[in-house]
Amino acid sequence: MKQEEENFAKSDHFNLTMIPGKFARAMRTCKIWQFFRFLVINIKMLIVVSKSH
Amino acid sequence: MARLIVMGGGVSGHTTATFAKKWLGDDHEVVVVTPNAQWNWIPSNIWVGVGQMQKKDVVFPLAPIYEKAGIDYRQALATEIHPNGKEGSDQPYIVIQSTKEGEEGKTEELEYDYLVNATGPKLNFDATPGLGDGKGQMGTNTVSVCTADHAVHANLELKQVFEKAKKGERQKILVGTGHGMCTCQGAAFEYIFNIEHEARKAGVRDMLDIKWISNESFLGDFGMGGLHMKVGGYAVSSKLFAESLYAERNVDWIIGAHTSKVEKGKIEYELLDGTKHEEAFDFAMLIPPFAGVGFKAYDKDGSDMTDVLFAPNGFMKVDAKYDAGAYENWKASDWPRTYQNPTFDNIFAAGIAFAPPHLISKPMSSPNGTPINPTPPRTGMPAGIIGKAVAHSVCDMIKNGKSAHLHEASMAEMGAACVASAGKGLLDGTAAAMTVYPVVPDFEKYPGTGRDTDYTFGEIGLAGHWIKHILHHMFIYKAKLKPGWTLIPE
Ligand SMILES: Cc1cc2nc3c(=O)[nH]c(=O)nc-3n(C[C@H](O)[C@H](O)[C@H](O)COP(=O)(O)OP(=O)(O)OC[C@H]3O[C@@H](n4cnc5c(N)ncnc54)[C@H](O)[C@@H]3O)c2cc1C
């Protein structure tokens, strides 16, 4: 069984939500992808910060 | 020469005092009254609480910073406000009580022309039997990460739990809110996932049952009524993402819960449906509810006028609409803009110290009449922005007279960027990076979600952790008033 699918059975709560698969989880700590996301998130945050001051 | 007194040297008060001094120069006096000798970057207490940082990494001494800035620093608790002065003098003043080593308890009267209350929250542990020690401090049944010292203690207790787990003893960890009217769910959220992350690193995850308990009516409410984000072409509720993270990390949850009693190894709680339950634990971190710090205010003749300045919860009244009534009538415009006290135009409140007009989340209570809903959060960014706006207003009043235009910083018109750690590690850490715009939803302007979904987003990953780590260093650098500090936004 795929690792992410195991947790669905652990609780009724878990069964009714979504759980990321291997690829989505790997991307969260993939350094190259996360470097790109770092730039994107910073830009988004700076826009919100500048709208708030 | 005018004198501004800032009560409270935390995120908001430190911002107010340092900017006011910069703008006023030596022509006017800025005094900070705060009981702590050290400034604490509170968000990083989470990492102290799991042993990933030490206390010295999150605090620094205030005295040299204020000396360098030319700010008069009094290490003391402010206890009384006398906004009309006393018999024979119209000069308003406050009473302070020293907390400085060797001078503890010594009282002094300090006259002011302008007063800013930035005293943040009282950690009201005693609101829940067994959560406090009955003397206003944290009890011995649970731990907290609200102060750096609490976090140091929490880490010591957590390490013992990990040791037992290593020896094969199954351990139950409970993290969340210690009362039906708590705020600051974000801090508990960070702590539970940091524990989970550390448990995996320590190889004891399989021996731990980790459970969340909170007063939110749905996961991902965070006291802001949740938020909607655009992901994969959908606009979705934070509920879905929060539930997904809990399920992925095998953290079960109890929501809509008022923790009514805490004992050694056990809590009692009531749910929104009125049913009552118990939950056992080996280690619990439960956030206490917040209240105002408990000032007294007196009129010239010595009569008590605390209720003129303060709401019943102890937070200071400002220019908010406090009579908005039922949830259906709530509007974004109920939220304060200038943070000026309606009775005394030389008194302001900044950060957590101001009394919000009402909740942000939908009010809820059990059939037994127990209110179970998060109270509104006022996180670091709004606390800083409000502190700066108040400093601006006071400086303009001092320089241009009391009719000067006041600066505005409504939480219904400002956004907030928030990064919630889900585990620390330069290469394997993660954090949920979020922005909301505005903090308080405005359903007239943004029907449907109450917020602008172009500027409200969230995603979890290593990048968020890098940002959280950089923010830690950036805000401590700023608070130390190092070169270029004014360029770093709040
Ligand atoms: C564990 C934890 C994690 C958090 N993480 C985040 C995060 O990641 N991001 C975020 O944006 N926010 C976070 N927050 C919230 C953030 O810390 C607060 O929003 C912020 O500290 C509020 O600023 P404040 O100045 O109003 O209050 P505080 O920072 O609490 O400052 C209040 C000050 O007043 C002083 N004081 C108290 N009583 C008196 C008195 N009688 N007289 C004089 N001084 C007094 C106190 O000692 C304190 O120095 C977190 C909070 C906690 C507890």
The tens digit of pLDDT for each residue in B397-443 reads 999 999 999 999 999 999 999 999 999 999 999 999 999 999 999 99
ipTM of the complex: 0.96
For residue B437, which residues of chain A lie inside 8 Å, CB to CB? 48, 51-52
CB contact under 8 A, A52 and B385: yes
Ligand 1 contact via B314 beta carbon (within 6 Å): no
Question: Residue B140 pLDDT > 90, yes or no?
Answer: yes
CB contact under 8 A, A45 and B430: no
SS3 B237: strand
pLDDT in tens, B20-50: 999 999 999 999 999 999 999 999 999 999 9
What pLDDT sits at residue B413? 95
Phi, psi of B96 (to 5 degrees): -120, 155
Q: What's chain B's average pLDDT?
A: 97
For residue A11, which residues of chain B lie inside 8 Å, CB to CB? 247, 252
Residue closest by Cα to atom 30 of ligand 1:
B120
Residues of B with CB under 8 A from a CB of A: 240, 243-244, 246-248, 250, 252-253, 381, 385, 414-417, 427-428, 430, 433, 435, 437, 455, 457, 459-464, 466-467, 489-490
Residue in chain B lying closest to A47 (CA): B455
CB contact under 8 A, A11 and B437: no
Residues lower than pLDDT 50 in chain A: none
The C-alpha atoms of residue A23 and residue A35 are separated, in whole angstroms, by 17
Q: CB atoms < 10 A from the CB of B456, how many?
A: 25
For residue A8, which residues of chain B lie inside 8 Å, CB to CB? 247
B99 Cα to the center of ligand 1, angstroms: 18
Q: Read out DSSP for A16-47?
A: TS----HHHHHHHH-HHHHHHHHHHHHHHHHH
* Helical H segments across B167-215, by residue range: 185-201
For each of the domains in chain B, give its residue range(s) and CATH number, in order of start.
3-123+293-400 (3.50.50.60)
What pLDDT sits at residue B233? 85
Look up the domain containing A42 and give its range.
3-52
What pLDDT sits at residue B231? 83
Question: Residue B227 pLDDT > 90, yes or no?
Answer: yes
What pLDDT sits at residue B273? 98
Span B52-74, average pLDDT: 98
pLDDT in tens, B430-478: 999 999 999 999 999 999 999 999 999 999 999 999 999 999 999 999 9
Please state the domain count of chain A: 1
Q: For residue B460, what are the CA distances in angstroms to A2, B176, B429?
A: 22, 20, 10
What pLDDT sits at residue A5? 87
What the block records as the tokens of B226 is: 């949740």
Ligand 1 contact via B379 beta carbon (within 6 Å): yes
Residue in chain B lying closest to A33 (CA): B463
Residue in chain B lying closest to A48 (CA): B415
What pLDDT sits at residue B295? 97
Read off the pLDDT band of B230 (50, 70, 90): confident
- The pTM of this model reads 0.97
Q: Which of B366, B389, B269 lies closest to B23, judged by CA?
A: B389
Read off the pLDDT band of B170 (50, 70, 90): very high
Phi, psi of B468 (to 5 degrees): -60, -40
Question: Residue B185 pLDDT > 90, yes or no?
Answer: yes
For residue A22, which residues of chain B lie inside 8 Å, CB to CB? none
What pLDDT sits at residue A2? 79
Residue in chain A lying closest to B254 (CA): A13
Which among B247, B252, B417 has the least Cβ separation from residue A49?
B417
Residue percentage of chain B with pLDDT more than 90? 98
Read off the pLDDT band of B79 (50, 70, 90): very high
B364 Cα to the center of ligand 1, angstroms: 26
